[in-house]
Amino acid sequence: MRARDQLIGAVLLVGATGLGLYRIAEAKNETTAGGAVFRLDESRPLEMAAFGVVRAEITQMGDPALAERLEQLRRDGEIWVAPKLGPGHWAVFVESLRLVRRIYVRQQALLDPVAHLYRVPRPDIPPRHQQAHAWINLAGALRHELAHRDGATEEAPAYDAEIAWYEQLRRSPFLASLQGEEREAWEWGIDSAILSAQKARDIAA
């Protein structure tokens, strides 16, 4: 066999091996996220619209940089939707074989954060409190998974980043601009989110 043919054969073999490994990594990722996952893009208008609302809420909370970072990751193909991700998760970052890195958002959490958080009805909690609590938790969960995506291999530092984000929200001009029941709802939501994250961090540690 001529040297040129040998080189072409080697290149094709390497390419086929690389593609095979990538498919394996994708399969491992999808299995971890529960299966039936799909990329968040324009082919999914309902989820795209919901993601736009999430980004708008995060921007309103005073963190446009986080909203833009999430959008950039989405454009890069790193934000996916996981319809079968367990109800105990808002989102999860999964990396397989150092080839496939994605943040999977639970579909219900994206489409209806309140229904995701309050699977059991809580008539004792005012609706506005539930809404604020849900938006805060969803944003915090995305910040948590972003910390994993950026290199936090353990849960404790990811929870630290999440808690720091809640504390930033507590000191934000957005919260300072609220009054009356609206402010009370958001303060309650922040306190509840911090308490939950601290308990989870303690368990993880």
Alpha helices in the chain (DSSP H): 3-32, 45-60, 64-75, 107-111, 113-117, 127-149, 155-170, 173-177, 180-204
Predicted TM-score (pTM) above 0.85: yes
Asked whether the predicted pLDDT for residue 99 surpasses 50, the reply is yes
Return the SS3 of 170: helix
The pLDDT of residue 52: 98
Whether residue 5 is predicted with pLDDT greater than 60 in this model: the reply is no
